[in-house]
Structure 1
Amino acid sequence: MTPEQIRAAVREVMPSVRADLEALVRIPSVSADPARADDVRRSAEATAELFRAEGFDDVRILTAAGGAPAVLARKPAPEGAPTVLLYAHHDVQPTGEVADWDSDPFEPTERGDRLYGRGAADDKAGIAAHLAAVRTFGADLPVGVTVLVEGEEEVGSPTLEAFLEEHHELLAADVIVIADSGNWDIGEPALTTSLRGLVDCFVEVRTLQHGVHSGMWGGVVPDAVTTMVRLLATLHDDEGNVAVEGLHSGPAADVDYPEERVRAESGIAEGVQLIGSGSLVERLWTKPAITTIGFDATRTADASNTLIPSVRAKLSVRLAPGDSSKRAMAALRHHLEQHVPWGAQLTFTEGEFGEPTQIDATGPAYDAARAAFRDAWDGTEPVDMGVGGSIPFIAAFNVAFPDAAVLVTGVEDPDTRAHGANEGLHLAEFEKVCLAEALLLHNLAESLGR
């Protein structure tokens, strides 16, 4: 097929692809909720059936180490053609407060230029983009295609490394396309070339064996909430930079990200200052960030004149590319132990580990991707961008398949609101993503074929 034929074929398959995406969104495959385990299985089965319908003879639902069901579908490469592994995930985040949504989160709803629903973008649209690329070529795929659709990405991919090891031979590929990121803006495509890593932990501070009267003992005995607040305050300097020694920082790509755009896209409240120093993209992509994402203490509705004996917080740390999650966890523990005030008892419990990623996006596979993006976006040059969030499993793919080119792409844009209420997929951009992936398969056949 010529690029123009591919463009016409993508346009023709888009209505059926959208219908399949909507059917997937209706399945509440929330991997974090044990009560939704049957829905996660149902989502895997529905995904498997989609690729069976496209002529994939080898379609399996597999697990490793007791993990959630993943879909593996394979079509062998034509003689001399490369094999491309297409990754996405079929599990989704919890909805949060349903009242915060403008429509049922599991009933895909079009409003304006977007399709709203949990997973409509992250990442069932990634599945749909792979489906569109495959459906475009029908029985004449120019490359071998292996599709891997994971079922536990939203809970940190805890068994993915075991899965890659156990099914390594089935997954071997020349190029790996990870459809779980996004583009720089509406109308501006991007390759993601760096992602921050992640560690999190639980911190408990105890100052008393039990609560006591605040009038009788206040002023002499420290309460746990004040103690914890003082401890958390040591994690940043006065500008808001992370103050934990030993965490890595690095330079970022020379990309202009105006402050007014950051304010508009983040939803920061009027008058609130941005924190940290350095360029905005450095602060977002290549410097560490620490956030208190949970705090257990007495509710104000239940408050009494009592010194609270213990409190618990959950901390999330985003790590710059080039750092190590184990080293970062040790540095965080050391900082907290050294800075806990007034001799309070500190309990530190490790949580998740996720490695950061830095991709050398050079070579024929990346050239093929950039050419596909330029064609799909009518001549717009793609941006090499970083992402402040984490996709730790990319490091696992790099380790498992060191000779494969890993391309990180996706359907999201700055207003996608993935993980939040009113998650939405920009439909016009989605069609461009589908076209770009189909063109990529065409380009890879030409540039990597023998």
Structure 2
Amino acid sequence: MSELKVSISGIRGIWADSLNLQNILNYTKAFAGYIAKIGGKRVLLGRDARPTGHLIANYVASILNAYGIDVIDADIIPTPTVLLGVRKLNFDGGIIITASHNPVEWNALKFVKKGGIFFGEKELKSILSFVQKNIKEKPYSKVGSYLKDNSIEELHIKTILENIPFKTIQKKRFKVILDPINSAGSKITEKLLKKLGCSVFMVNGEMNGRFKRGAEPTPANLKHLPSLIKKLKADVAFAQDPDADRLVIADEKGNVLSEELTLALAIDYVLSKKNGNVVINLSTSSLCEWIANRYNSKCIRTKVGEANVVEGIIRHRATIGGEGNGGVIYPGINCARDSLAGIALILSLLAERNKTVSEIVKDYPVFTIRKEKMEFKGDLSTKLKEIEKCFPAKIDERDGLRLEWEEKGKKIWLHIRTSNTEPVIRIIGESEDEKILKNSIEEIKKIIRG
């Protein structure tokens, strides 16, 4: 049996294996206990389109109702839309049924707290404390109510339009290709783009949960876009993951950009309007720091995970933040990774500067980033101590091990950590010198293999 992943990224596993009806009951009941403890009553429910989503959603709603919680079910809807809905409509919490970028056989419960942000490590412990408690069902006269309502979709679009120069975008009449991977971003993102005056060509647009490409929107999974862009003479292409919190861009020449450039472009636009602190995680490209420096803004790093970055954004009153996996967090719209907000910000950048994506990106320095993962069973802390001794580096141990140093006049950083979402170790590194980076990562992999 595979391992059930329990972290700030959700209760995540493979359906009918590590994720089953029993542990869905246990963790949903625990969430109901937490909601009751804070005096809450109303919960917003949403999901992505994967095939197990409807049955898990129905089960979760029934469990919550049994414990006296009223449920509004938004059905198939992006994760950031649920987060925005919890905040704007003053829900006491939310549950999103999605395994985000994981393959289709995975699913998860993601818990949202009042205010519309994910549970951090402390709050998650509070929920987990209820797992073993005996929580009694409510009598028939006090069970919760259930209502289907996806009107938060329009609220999300309205909030975005209120915070961008939409008339400037409309005048450009952009031709856009959208790949929402047959899931939650399909309808709402098309609606947003049309309100922005774009002509939209959809690929993988049917919202049936049968993913026709790899779930993670990376260049390796988007090889179908270059020929489409050239054929349609599109200005830009956008690709999302199944719950539409991540975004990847392809330029007008058919080049699928690194997911790291999504956040960089959004930061560039936002800081050109208002400088301020930027918060990113320990695994995000140094390009974001370079852009922040250009606008005399400070760039602060946090542990990996949306909840950690959002916590940093709030603490440092940041203007913008995010993660290098294509996750743009712009608190002016939504304090969550939000692909729709990212699309709006990037179209604003293109419209106001009257430049193409490639023209903007060519002015950025080139950093080589490598992202690798490997299976490992054993004591990782011992291996990290061994790795630490091999490099003359500045050390950060907040989230696994991050090393940063200079070699031959070139900066390099490496980050080794256990994944929050998969049973693997992630090794991410970046440098201006590709050879040094490659050799360093191979040395680390050799140490881990033992």
**TM-score for both structures, normalised by structure 1:** 0.28
Q: Which of structures 1 and 2 has the bigger CA Rg?
A: 1
Greater RCO (Cα-Cα under 8 Å, separation 6 or more)? 1
**TM-score for both structures, normalised by structure 2:** 0.28
